[in-house]
Structure 1
Amino acid sequence: MNDEPKPVVQNEMRFHPLREALYEEMHSRPFQVIPSPARITHLAVFCDEEQSKAQFEHLKILFNKFFVMPPEQDDVCLQYDLGGLRIRREKHLEFTAYTFINFDIPEGSDPFDTTGAAALPAGWLESIPGEVVTAFHLSVEESSEDDEVMIPQVKQYFEGMRLVGSSPQQGDARVWTTLRLHSDGFGRFLIYNKRMSDSQLGRLAQRIIEIETYRLMTLIALPLARECGPHLGSMDRQLANLTQQLADSIEVNEQEVLCRLTDMAAHVEDYRAKTTFRFTATKAYHALVLQRLVELREDEVSGHLTVTEFLTRRLTPAVRTCQAVGERLEDMSKRIDRVSDMMRTRVELSIQAQNQQLLASMDRRSKIQLMMQHTVEGLSVAAISYYAVGLVKILMDAAYDSGLDFNKSMALGIAVPVVIGSVWLATRKIHKHFLALAKEQRDADLADEKVRDKVKK
């Protein structure tokens, strides 16, 4: 007999199907490691779903140009090194970001003589599907010079434009830009590395890339807000005039007013449909910009505006403009609804007054008809009685001719009041029956009207 213990079978844990994806999401867009010097070109391209698929096929062409096996599946973030060129493609909700990093830099060249896109095949960059929103070059250089020596040289790299600069990360680097487009149609950023490691430099470059990308994405809603403003002002004045007329009890054409309110409501809802997503996106992008600016930890350099100071001063009013227009649209929609309710109430009261007049007129007509009915009723009793007496006379003649002996004149005289009384009683009974039915119907109508009034209240 075998007394060995049987192995205990342990049940395996049940994992959520998205568990691995949730872990990988935190690592889907890792920071890059960027040595200095380096040349970076970054693009953010607006695209829909079809254009995003076309962009992936377009990216495969680039891999084939470099004789490298292209990726088989599109992903949130793709990053590959093709010799001296690093390519990074990130998919976002409404745009795709491309980052090209060129490490093959000629000695002694100026920061923007060679760009990150210099190693790309001719025409490939220009034929990316979609609409380019953000496009700028970022140059990374080593420098140990003082700011006084550095600034005059930096101005030449930015075509003499007014500089915006700072000393982030406790002075370990210098960041210079103008936040404007230059002669090549691209923006420019310049990082002078003093004491930062390649990993720190990669994080700094990534923050600058995201600040510039999200800054422009934030501002996309501003022209839309400016377009809506004048139209909202005109509708606001019209609505105020209508409200004033209703408040002053001025006689108005209810149908015309309701048509105007419906037209304004349609325009407001059209603007809301066009702007709601854009204004919500603006708020989200602005929050990301502010967060990245905090992470820069900037200090001032030689009296120049820092990137944080410049963007806070220029970007925040634009965001508040979009927010104000969005709130104004919401307020306008509610006000139009309230005025429409007032007009509907006014129309309902007018209709009720007309109904009361109509019911009073019908009541007068009913009384007249009742009087006429009583008159006709008396004539009807006489007519019916006349024909009924004629029938009784025929019956008496027939009975007398058959041998029955009686006084026909006396019998006919007795029959006349009996016939008239019987006809009158029958007519009154029918009349009372119909009056009872009419009263029941009237009571039912009154009960239904009370129920409707309670429901409205």
Structure 2
Amino acid sequence: MSARLESLDIHPLRNDLYNELHSRPFQVLPTPARVTQMAVLTTPEQRQEQFRHLQELHRLMGHPVPENEVGCFEHTFGALRVRREMHMEFASYTFINLAAGEETPFSETGITPLPEGWLEQLTGTVIAAFHLEVRPAADGTEGDLDYVRKHFEGMRLVGSSPQEGAARVWGTFRLHSDGFGRFMVMNHHMSDSQLGRLTQRLMEIETYRLMSLLALPVAREITPSLNDMDEKLAVITRSLAENEDVDEEKLLAQLTNIAARIEAFRAHSTFRFSATRAYHRLVLTRLEELREDELSGHLTLTEFMTRRLTPAVKTCEAVSERLEDLSRRVDRASDMMRTRVELAIQSQNQQLLSSMDRRSKIQLMMQHTVEGFSVVAITYYLIGLLKFGLDSVYEAGVVFNKTLVLGIAIPVVMTLVFLGVRVVHHHFIKMAKRQ
């Protein structure tokens, strides 16, 4: 008896994880066929509008309207197959005209069967739009090439023979007079499934290539500001290193300004630069999957991308690394500034403590002097009181030498007062030490 899973604790995402690997199946593409691929940058609000726009296409074509949006949607309207895939930043639309005949290539395209005016209402920002023409191959490479050249408006061709010669791929990686890019696939002996995988890789290469280049204008835009900040930071660091008499407050304000600008640039560009690296890796992976063979006299797609796309991506990576390097240098300069300020504060504190120590010694000397005066003053008042007492006794009839008694009492009283003041003084010193 087979085991059952009903009694086990099943992860709630288990089915989704299984289905994820099958959510974007490859196309099955006949020969001939005409394909149009569009990639549209979208916001979350625009995605909802795009789904309503897709529902409108179903109504116009007389088909049931889908109720729920999915990550990869595909539907066939007679001779038109429409596929919509949702990505993190963009939505891709693939339109396949399955009614392609022997007409001139690119005279009709994948979007030709669409209802008039529907495509113009699509929301979002178009980043990639190109046509892909699938044709049976002519006899021999020269026959293919002569046929292909006529349909790329005299532009320089990039071509290769992928999958060990099973097909030939031609393109220019340029915009043509209709505003679209163009590719042509000459099918020699590929099956419909193989052809679908090949065209899918070509469409992903072109789309991801353009997405990876979105960071290049950002890199060019912030480079002059990085140069300016680099020079300012070098001046600040040099002045700190040379121990010049600088205005720390002014330098700290400059460092704070540079740090704020760097963080603003990082917030603006970090995602874009990271996305560029990811898209570039995807392009390289798709190029490897093509397994291209060279066609005499023409750059392969891999060679073209290596020579043209990779330097642009490296530029973006260099600017990204430079931003990080500047941020670290600002941190180090700030640490130097803080160390300098702390040393200055410590020096001021040392001077203050020395001054306080000197004042304490002076105060102690003054205190001893005051204590001496205090002993004399207290003795004077006590002797005065003693004189009043002696006068009272003398007037009461007791005969004695008042002058002699007072003379003897003065040193005795003074000694007792001095000893009393010292006792009080030592008592307060002990209290201070205990605290």
Q: State the TM bucket, normalised to the shorter chain.
A: over 0.9
C-alpha deviation, 1:170, in angstroms: 1.5
Matching residue of 1:89: 84
- Matched residues in 2 for 1:11 and 1:296: separation? 44
**Residues 10 and 98 of structure 1: is their aligned pair in 2 closer, same or farther, counting only changes over 3 Å?**
closer
**Residues 268 and 10 of structure 1: is their aligned pair in 2 closer, same or farther, counting only changes over 3 Å?**
closer
- Matched residues in 1 for 2:85 and 2:46: separation? 14
Post-superposition Cα deviations, 1:39-74, rounded to whole Å, max 9, x if no partner, equal 111111111222222211221111111122222111
C-alpha deviation, 1:390, in angstroms: 3.6
Matching residue of 2:68: 73
Q: Mean Cα displacement is larger for which, 224-233 or 37-46?
A: 224-233
**Residues 315 and 11 of structure 1: is their aligned pair in 2 closer, same or farther, counting only changes over 3 Å?**
closer
- Matched residues in 2 for 1:23 and 1:411: separation? 119
Q: Secondary structure of the residue that 1:157 maps to in structure 2?
A: coil
Equivalent position to 1:20, from 10, 15, 18: 15
Post-superposition Cα deviations, 1:361-413, rounded to whole Å, max 9, x if no partner, equal 22222222222222222112222233333444455566777x69574836655
Equivalent position to 1:260, from 247, 250, 254: 254
Equivalent position to 1:423, from 417, 423, 430: 417
Matching residue of 1:59: 54
One-letter code of the match for 2:62? F
- Matched residues in 2 for 1:386 and 1:281: separation? 95
Is the 8 Å Cα contact of residues 396 and 408 (structure 1) preserved in structure 2? no
* Aligned: 1:135 with 2:129: yes
**Residues 394 and 162 of structure 1: is their aligned pair in 2 closer, same or farther, counting only changes over 3 Å?**
same
- Matched residues in 1 for 2:153 and 2:26: separation? 31
Matching residue of 1:282: 276
One-letter code of the match for 1:117? I
Equivalent position to 2:41, from 40, 43, 46: 46
Post-superposition Cα deviations, 1:192-222, rounded to whole Å, max 9, x if no partner, equal 1121111111111100011001111111111
Task: Give runs of aligned pairs for residues 205-216 of structure 1, distance below 5 A.
Answer: 205-216=199-210
Task: Give runs of aligned pairs for residues 224-239 of structure 1, distance below 5 A.
Answer: 224-239=218-233
C-alpha deviation, 1:11, in angstroms: 8.0
Equivalent position to 1:247, from 238, 241, 263: 241
What TM-score results when the alignment is normalised by the length of structure 1?
A: 0.88
Q: Secondary structure of the residue that 2:426 maps to in structure 1?
A: helix
- Matched residues in 2 for 1:137 and 1:151: separation? 18
**Residues 50 and 391 of structure 1: is their aligned pair in 2 closer, same or farther, counting only changes over 3 Å?**
farther
**Residues 390 and 156 of structure 1: is their aligned pair in 2 closer, same or farther, counting only changes over 3 Å?**
same
**Residues 386 and 37 of structure 1: is their aligned pair in 2 closer, same or farther, counting only changes over 3 Å?**
same
C-alpha deviation, 1:339, in angstroms: 1.7
Is the 8 Å Cα contact of residues 47 and 94 (structure 1) preserved in structure 2? yes
Post-superposition Cα deviations, 1:70-107, rounded to whole Å, max 9, x if no partner, equal 221111111111121111111111111111111233x4
- Matched residues in 2 for 1:439 and 1:253: separation? 42
Q: Secondary structure of the residue that 1:89 maps to in structure 2?
A: strand
What TM-score results when the alignment is normalised by the length of structure 2?
A: 0.92
Q: Secondary structure of the residue that 1:293 maps to in structure 2?
A: helix
* Aligned: 1:197 with 2:200: no
Is the 8 Å Cα contact of residues 384 and 423 (structure 1) preserved in structure 2? yes
Task: Give runs of aligned pairs for residues 19-418 of structure 1, distance below 5 A.
Answer: 19-105=14-100, 107-394=101-388, 405=398, 407=400, 409=402, 412-413=406-407, 415-418=409-412
Identity of aligned pairs, percent? 58
C-alpha deviation, 1:166, in angstroms: 1.2
Q: Structure 2: which 5+ residue stretches go unaligned? A: none
Is the 8 Å Cα contact of residues 137 and 187 (structure 1) preserved in structure 2? yes
Post-superposition Cα deviations, 1:96-149, rounded to whole Å, max 9, x if no partner, equal 1111111233x4321211111112223322222221111111111223332212
Q: Mean Cα displacement is larger for which, 431-440 or 201-210?
A: 431-440
C-alpha deviation, 1:187, in angstroms: 0.7
One-letter code of the match for 2:289? E
